[in-house]
A and B are shown apart, each in its own frame.
Chain A
Amino acid sequence: MIRASRLAKAFGANVVLDGLSLTVTAGERVALLGLNGTGKTTLFRCLLGQLPYDGELLIDGLDVLRDGRRVRSRIGYVPQRPPHFYGTLGELVAFFGGLRGLDLHAVERRMADLDLSLQENAAKSVSALSGGMLQKTLLALATAVDVPLLLLDEPTANLDPRARREFVRALERVSTDTTVFLSSHRLEDIRAVADRLLLLHRGRLVFDGTIDELEAKAGAGSTLWVRLSDDALERAATVFASDPRVAVHRNGSRIGLEASSSELPGLLAELGDLGVKVLDLRTEAPSLERLLAGFVDESAP
């Protein structure tokens, strides 16, 4: 679906994409991860044909620069910030839906799938709508028909936690035939949506694999925090201190068991085997900085 070969883009002396090569096959759900300024947005703009570049970039077999309009007709796009459209929601849907040649009833049905009524909100000014409603509207416009490629540029970055959860749930309903290419800083979103992760740093691909592989490679796992009674806490700490898979953390009456995400259910079961009563629990994903630490050397020139 996406094939980039030696993709390069510089703004003056600032090299943003440095000979990037990658392939995404049809139906894959891929997340693009990286710190700010690593070239994620520039890559998206290249994919959309908004920027000239060196190298080769094909989407669905079409050259992005030569066949820009045809390429974009195959892409559903949701940006980080919804556009400040002057007018009502109905006008926004009619205008952008019209540009995409969409049947407005299809957009309306898709919005209904996302728990958003076009009929009830059509007359509302776009500026009066919440960010979550707007992002869902853009997702409905992007997916009203089954597009081959869905590009999502940090779509949940400006949403509150509830809207973010709703948006991610909405993404789960996108056709499995659609290739999803998502850029995000949020590991929970990536975990929910993507099954492959690309790590971009200084315009180069420094990792390509699953999130578990990234955690393992970075030596940073998720942490299972459990609250136990005092005696149970000591017992658990002693048992897990000698387990090479686990790093043990303490915080008051809580013990944190840090391991790769796939190990956490097993650790919870082992706690049960110890006969300790878990009073409550929560999981904590590793921070992005921690995950990237092994790949990203900020001191490098």
Chain B
Amino acid sequence: MNARTRLRLFVTRELGHALRARWFLAYSAVFLVGGLLLIALGARDTMLVGYRGYARSLAGLVHFAILFVPLMALFPASSAIAEERENGTLEYLLAQPVTRGEVFLGKWAGVALAVVLSITVGYLLAGGLAVLRGVPTRFVWISYAYLLLLALAFVSVGLVLSTLAETRARAITLGLLGWLALVALGSLGAMAAFVRWGIPSVALVGWSFVNPVEAFRLGLVALLDPDLGLLGPLGASLAARHGATTILWGTALSLLMWTAVPLFLGASGLLRRREGV
């Protein structure tokens, strides 16, 4: 019995669990309907402004994704381990010849695969329609990759909370508070602080790379509008200084770090509660 076989067992179990719990199908449906609606609305604008109309509808999809994707990743991830702890399965699981890191990695892989499949079903249908209407394929693929990075980052964060929180409810509450802080305080709060206390613009830009939600937004805006004119003079200056490609890679790296660091901590078995399970 090698580690890969054990990982496969966890992934199969988590996928089965996702399908049985029906959240997988519900998220896919919401994403699909949301995507199709935005693409359909974009079709009207196309009459006036060409494929950029679809770009605008995809920008709408970005805002929809910022609200929806972290939640669809956080809910199953923050339940994954805390729920097993609450119902006694974790204690039995950790009595088997597996390591704490393998349990974390197996759970992560299973939840991540379910979330990725859910996004893929919803987004690629909407994205495919957009391509048929003239939106460049590159545009659809990069935004798809960004969506996956955002989702994986929140799967990692959710799983860390699930490992450390005593109960599933507490893990989900912490996840929601974190999401609220990153989405609401992360953008509006940072803007308010910028205006109210005159925080240097470089700090605001730095924050956009540190906060995964802002990194996602900044990356997608750079994809839609390489001049970053949508972000005002600060955005234009940033684009002029570094270029859209650097911003795209920088924000992608930020999202990768949000995925990798919690995953490393969990997979190395460093995260544990005082009670052991």
Give residues in A with beta carbon < 8 Å to B.
11, 45, 48, 50-52, 68-70, 72-73, 75, 77, 79, 81-87, 91, 95-96, 98-101, 138, 151
Cβ–Cβ contact A99 & B96, under 8 A: yes
When C-beta atoms are compared, the residue in chain A nearest to B274 turns out to be A11
B246 at interface by CB-CB < 8 Å: no
Contacts A86-B20, A87-B20; A100 near B92 (Cβ below 8 A): no
Q: How far is the CA of A84 from the CA of B17 in the complex (A)?
A: 13
Cβ–Cβ contact B17 & A86, under 8 A: yes
Cβ–Cβ contact A100 & B1, under 8 A: yes
Q: How far is the CA of A69 from the CA of B98 in the complex (A)?
A: 6
When C-beta atoms are compared, the residue in chain A nearest to B84 turns out to be A83
Contacts A99-B6, A100-B96; A84 near B277 (Cβ below 8 A): no
Which residues B67-91 have CB closer than 8 A to chain A?
A: 84, 87-89, 91
Cβ–Cβ contact B277 & A69, under 8 A: no
What is the CB-to-nearest-CB distance from A271 to chain B, in angstroms, rounded to a whole number? Answer: 49
Cβ–Cβ contact B96 & A70, under 8 A: no
Cβ–Cβ contact A96 & B91, under 8 A: no
B9 at interface by CB-CB < 8 Å: yes
- Residue in A81, A95, A100, A151 whose CB lies within 8 Å of B88: A81
Contacts A50-B94, A85-B89; A101 near B1 (Cβ below 8 A): yes
When C-beta atoms are compared, the residue in chain A nearest to B106 turns out to be A99
Cβ–Cβ contact B97 & A99, under 8 A: yes
Residues from chain A with Cβ under 8 Å of B89 in the complex: 83-85
Q: How far is the CA of A82 from the CA of B89 in the complex (A)?
A: 8
Residues from chain B with Cβ under 8 Å of A91 in the complex: 13, 16
B99 at interface by CB-CB < 8 Å: yes
When C-beta atoms are compared, the residue in chain A nearest to B6 turns out to be A99
- Residue in B17, B84, B95, B277 whose CB lies within 8 Å of A77: B95
- Residue in B9, B16, B275 whose CB lies within 8 Å of A99: B9
Q: How far is the CA of A51 from the CA of B87 in the complex (A)?
A: 19
When C-beta atoms are compared, the residue in chain A nearest to B3 turns out to be A69
When C-beta atoms are compared, the residue in chain B nearest to A102 turns out to be B1
B276 at interface by CB-CB < 8 Å: yes
Residues from chain B with Cβ under 8 Å of A87 in the complex: 13, 16-17, 20
Q: How far is the CA of A140 from the CA of B87 in the complex (A)?
A: 21
11 A-B pairs whose Cβ atoms sit less than 8 Å apart in the complex: A72-B95, A72-B96, A72-B98, A77-B92, A82-B92, A86-B17, A87-B16, A87-B20, A95-B9, A99-B1, A99-B98
